[in-house]
Amino acid sequence: MKNTPFDLAGKVAVVTGSSRGIGRASAELLAKLGAKVVISSRKADACKEVADGIVKAGGDAIVIPCNISRKAEVEALIAGATKHYGKVDILVCNAAVNPYYGPLLDIADEAFDKIMGSNVKSNVWLCAEAIPQMAERGVGSVVIISSIGGLRGSTVIGAYGISKAADFALCRSLAGEWGPKGVRVNCIAPGLVKTDFARALWEDEARLKQRCAHTPLRRIGEPEEIAGAVAYLASNASTFMTGQTIVIDGGVTTAAV
């Protein structure tokens, strides 16, 4: 990949929620393209497995555990990454939660606050720690993993959709604020992807069959199919792109039902 705009040699990436799913696939691809990667999620042992795999393949990765709902841990994540590698060039805000599945008006306050705190406020915290140092160098890229749940209504994950719609707005505002300093902020909105996180949606055979029937590609996605867009947004291939959302959903949001 050297001498291509996708070459990430010399770059440092922090990827939250990178012990599995989209976060793991993204971290592994960024490392393969030359980036030094910080693997992070709540469980250090799960992160170590990913980091060890990257190192074994010839890459450079370290583990810094972080519960994104705790501000002190978010601050320690970016500070630790900066201390070890000297900087953070790429921030991938991937970690998210969805503790509630059911009618929106039945959600408990605690669950609603947890969703908004982990899926929106934590991204503000992460950006507040990482973006200023990017701006000092005049270059940097933030990628927020949102969801098509922020584009469409849902009868079972409505609060999650609200949080993901908020991420679109967060992205646009930060792009406007920090673009003059050379920092880009973009979103990715995946459709249904085969991850542990979305298991409740794709393990339901009837629901999965219906979803596939209404998806032009007639299937759900794999984590690796989102990682390519993360690499694009992190790299010099996308240097004129900011404030945008890339939808990767097999065409489901474009299809007539």
Is the Cα torsion angle 72, 73, 78, 79 positive or negative in sign?
A: positive
Nearest to 12 by CA among 93, 94, 78, 67: 78
Separation CA 235–CA 187 (nearest Å): 14
> Which whole-number Å values give the CA distances from 63 to 16, 31, 48, 79, 243, in the listed order?
11, 14, 6, 13, 29
Contact between residue 67 and residue 44 where contact means Cβ atoms under 8 Å apart: no
**Set 85, 100, 160, 232: catalytic member:** 160
> DSSP of 147-176, one letter per residue?
-GGGTS--SSBHHHHHHHHHHHHHHHHHHH
Task: Let me know if 160 is a catalytic residue.
Answer: yes
Name the residues annotated as catalytic: 160
